[in-house]
Amino acid sequence: MGSSPLMSLGVRAMAANYAAMQTTGHNIANANVAGYSRQQAILATSQGQFTGAGFFGRGVDVVGVTRSHNAFLTRESASAQSLAAMDSTRLTQLQRLENIFRTGESGLGYAATELFNAMVDLSSRPTDLATRQVVLARASDMAVRFSEAGITLDQTQDAVTAELKSSAAEVNQLTSSIAVANQRIAALRGSGQPANDVLDERDRLIGQLSQRVQVTRIEADDGTVGLFVAGGQRLVLGGSATELMVVASDVDPSRSALAMREGTAIRRIDDAGLGGGSLAGLMRFQNNDLVQGRNLVGQLAAAVGGAVNAQQLRGMSLQQPIGSAPSQPMFALGPQQALPQRGNARDPGTNLPIGSVNLTITAPAALVASDYDLRESATVPGSWDLRRLSDGLVRQVNGGDVVDGMQIDIANPQPGDRFLLQPVARAANGMQVLLTSPLDIAAASPLLATPGATNSGTAATGDLVVTASPLPFAGSSEQLQFFRLTPPVNGMDYEYVSSLTGTSTPWRTGLPVVGANGFTLQLTGVPGDGDVINIDPTPATSLASNNGNARALLALRDGLIVGGRTLTDSWSQSLADMGVRVQSAGSAASISAAVASQTEQVRSGQDGVNLDEEAARLIQFQQSYQAAAKMLQVAQSLFDTLLQATQ
């Protein structure tokens, strides 16, 4: 046995330790590279050489370099980050939306309250042009705030679309990089050794992709991975990637939807199946939070604007000729719309949908902050199912029915037709004041109530509110005569008879008196038997100083004019609704971020580089390397000894 086995043993040991140090150096170098997995040189004992005296070890071999990788933790971390990205994206968008729901003096609710409070001064000084001008200024302040909210809502939608587009572009870039990595991994597979750094790179890309959209990952036998979104739509398969696109939504073209390009066909992705990722967060914000925000603002605009307009039309302005110039509505509101869906039957010539729906707002106070889905009833032919999207309430309606304050007229319905109804969604958009002159404000009531001169009771007239426009008996005087009912009938101790219709109505003190000529009247005191109240057209000489309609406009402030609640109640509820949304999105985001951080901590704890560990390894391998070098020295001196012996 000579010295050369020892020499070669030393050389192999030096090479192996060098390789180990090289790997450690690689780890140290990549310690701060995102997604890098710590690598390890795998050393194995060389098979010993058999001699008559037994097996003599031949040293060490470098078998390969593996990366420390836990597929489960990697997957777990990617999906946790997917959810975290979705929640934080939605939170960011919601915080933008929350700016519209401002509290206090800069809020929409306060602007509306201030408009009504200006009616207080109008009631005190109906003839004063400056006071009337203040009312117009308050009205325009409110309209501007609403239309600005509408603009902000549109801008928010634009920003969502832009972000969807840039995210989709990013996704496409990532998926094509992943496809390329797949190809390289498959090609390198023949070498028999794992392509650690390419694998890391692919995992990193998939991690980035997961932040945009949650993917299901399926490993193939050739080392490639297939990535799928939304319950099975192919995003990456082997070396090819499918393009993700942003298209106009089927439901509402102003919204965006995601789709995949498959050859020439475009296949839409169901938002509900998206799972996680910032794209899912954006879609959820767009289709849920933004719609709700839009409807809450729109409901307030439509209800307040509608109530003021209606009351304005019932009053008398100071425009010439005084007493006969018809009043004009105060506000212009954005339109209500009924959008035909993509599958509706179309005219082959014009390619326009044949069937159409026309929405008319009949009772602004009954409007609900919601969109509606209208489709042909599956059970009753010719009838329609109307689903309120905010709470899922389904009602069966026919054309011409009035539901939630809107009348639904359906023209040329075709089988399978479906419509999205948006009664209030765009009401705030473009809201503006139509009145130009302070004289246009209808502060005066067209009717005046006076107790009969010979009344024996103590009844006096209080607020008279006109409830119809035009008046059912315009220009006529009405006399209501009160009679005692002894004994009282159903708790009513009076009845009154209208001179216009001759009908008698049971009444008791405290109830409003409802006249045939479209008004309600409050009485104070107690009428005597046979007493009369006269309701006459307001004389032209009293119109300028009459404040009846200004008081009726003020009464809207405390009336149930927004979905069965007062303006203030409704607005503060909207504030709370939006606040809760942002708050719960915030806690969801912080929880999912904490989960993502924990899973990433576990993953990186296993796969990441610890510099102290690498320092220790460095010393370990350095010492082994030095020992192996010593072996060479020994081998050399052995050889020298041998040479000297033979001299």
Partner 1 sequence: MRISTSYAFETSLANLQRRQSQLSEAQEQLTSGLRVRKPSDDPAAAAAAERALAAEARATAYMRALNDSRNAMQMTESALGDAGDMMQRARELMVAAGNGSFGDSERQSLAETLRGIRNDMLSVANRGDGAGRYLFGGQGSDVRPLRDAPGGVVYDGAAGQLNAAAGEVTPLSVDGGAVFLFAPDPGSPGGAVSIFDAMDKAITELMMPGRPSTDVALTVTTALSQFGAVQGNLSGWRARAGEALNRADGIESRLSQSKIDAQRDRSAAEDLDMVGAISDFQNKQTGYDAALKTYSMVQRMSLFDYLNP
Q: Yes or no: say if 447 and 469 are a contact pair by the CB < 8 Å rule.
A: no
Contact 254, 334 (CB under 8 A): no
Q: At what angle do helices 291-314 and 108-124 cross, to 10 degrees?
A: 10
> Quick one: 98 or 417, whose CB is closer to partner 1?
98
Nearest approach, Cβ of residue 595 and partner 1 (Å)? 14
To partner 1, the closest distance from the beta carbon of 620 in angstroms equals 12
Of 297, 292, 329, whose CA–CA distance to 311 is shortest?
329
**Cβ burial, residue 188 (10 Å; 0-12/13-18/19+):** middle
Q: To the nearest whole angstrom, how small is the minimum distance from the Cβ of residue 503 to partner 1?
A: 26
Nearest to 292 by CA among 579, 589, 577: 577
Nearer to partner 1, 67 or 418 (CB): 67
- Nearest to partner 1 of 260, 448 (CB atom): 448
B/e letters for 523-549, b = 16+ CB within 10 Å, e = fewer, are: beeebbeebbbbbebbeeeebeebbbb
Nearer to partner 1, 200 or 600 (CB): 600
By C-beta, is 202 or 603 nearer to partner 1?
603
Residue type for 386, please?
L
Please list, residue by residue across 470-481, b when 16 or more beta carbons sit within 10 angstroms of its beta carbon and e when fewer do: ebebeeeebbbb
At its nearest, how many Å lie between partner 1 and the CB of residue 65? 19
> Least Å distance between CB 533 and partner 1?
11
Phi/psi-derived region of residue 2, left when phi > 0, alpha when psi is between -120 and 50, beta in every other case: beta
Nearer to partner 1, 351 or 541 (CB): 541
Cβ nearer to partner 1, comparing 305 with 537: 537
139 vs 578 by CB, closer to partner 1: 578
Omega before 413 cis (within 30°)?
A: no
Minimum CB separation of residue 333 from partner 1 in Å reads 23
DSSP characters over 302-352: HHHHHHHHHHHHHSB-SPSSTTTSPP--SEE-PPPEEEEPTTS-B-TTT--
Closest approach of Cβ 54 to partner 1, in Å?
Answer: 40
3-state class (DSSP) for residue 423: coil
Q: Other C-beta atoms within 10 Å of 140: how many?
A: 17
Nearest C-alpha neighbor of 546 from the set 434, 471, 449, 433: 449
Least distance CB 25 / partner 1 (angstroms): 13
